[in-house]
């Protein structure tokens, strides 16, 4: 039921009221021999869907009053006025139930669309890596879609929300210490050789 967007709220409301009044006139003309009770649900449903529960209640009350007046002035004779009041109240309750249910369904649909939209926006902000990544077996650089080779940290940072924090694992830290000690030892040996050579040259 897509009414929103075609007419302004004021025009739509007036059209619904006119339709209810038209149904009342038809009920009055045809008297009690033909019943148009079910047709009152149409403007009530449209109003509930378009305006919400408050206007659904308003249109339900207006429909019940219109139906009651059409029955009263059409010449239908009740054995007691309480039966007339009972019929009118039953019609009112029926109108209210339908209007409230449709207004509630419409509100739930709007909330569902809002949640779905927020979920889609959240998912669109999530970046993921998938597929095959061409990586150099020697330097461990990754080739991007343009054919350029990038450091693995730079590539992953560009294609995801990952932030890198650099450190050293135990194996690399031990290897680095060994390399530094080896380099320091080699430097000391070279220094000793240079000192000896200088000592010999001075002699």
Nearest to 71 by CA among 33, 114, 113, 112: 33
Q: Residue 144 pLDDT more than 90? A: no
Please give the pLDDT value at position 31.
Answer: 72
The mean pLDDT value of the chain amounts to: 81
Q: Residue 201 pLDDT more than 90? A: no
State the Cα–Cα distance between residues 60 and 93, nearest whole angstrom. 8
Which tens digits make up the pLDDT trace of 102-141?
999 999 999 999 999 888 877 766 556 666 778 888 887 8
State the Cα–Cα distance between residues 6 and 12, nearest whole angstrom. 9
Please give the pLDDT value at position 63.
Answer: 94
Q: Residue 2 pLDDT more than 70? A: no
* Residues with Cβ within 8 Å of residue 10, at least 6 apart in sequence: none
Is 0.75 surpassed by the pTM of this model? no
């Amino acid at each position: 039921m897509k009414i929103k967007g075609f007419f302004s709220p004021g025009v739509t409301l007036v059209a619904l009221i006119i339709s209810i009044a038209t149904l009342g006139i038809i009920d009055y003309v045809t008297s009690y021999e033909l019943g148009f009770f079910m047709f009152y649900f149409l403007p009530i449903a449209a109003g509930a869907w378009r305006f919400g529960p408050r206007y659904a209640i308003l249109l339900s009350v207006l429909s019940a009053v219109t139906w009651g007046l059409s029955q009263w002035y059409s010449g239908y004779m009740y054995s007691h006025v309480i039966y007339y009041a009972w019929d009118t109240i039953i019609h009112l309750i029926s109108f209210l139930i339908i209007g409230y249910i449709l207004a509630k369904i419409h509100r739930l649909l709007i909330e569902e669309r809002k949640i779905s939209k927020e979920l889609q926006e959240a998912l669109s902000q999530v970046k993921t890596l998938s597929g095959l990544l061409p990586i150099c077996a020697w330097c461990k650089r990754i080739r991007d879609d343009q054919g350029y080779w990038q450091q693995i940290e730079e590539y992953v940072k560009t294609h995801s929300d990952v932030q890198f924090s650099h450190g050293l694992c135990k194996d690399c830290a031990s290897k680095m210490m060994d390399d530094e000690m080896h380099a320091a030892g080699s430097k000391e040996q070279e220094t000793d050789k240079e000192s000896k050579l200088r000592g010999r040259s001075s002699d």
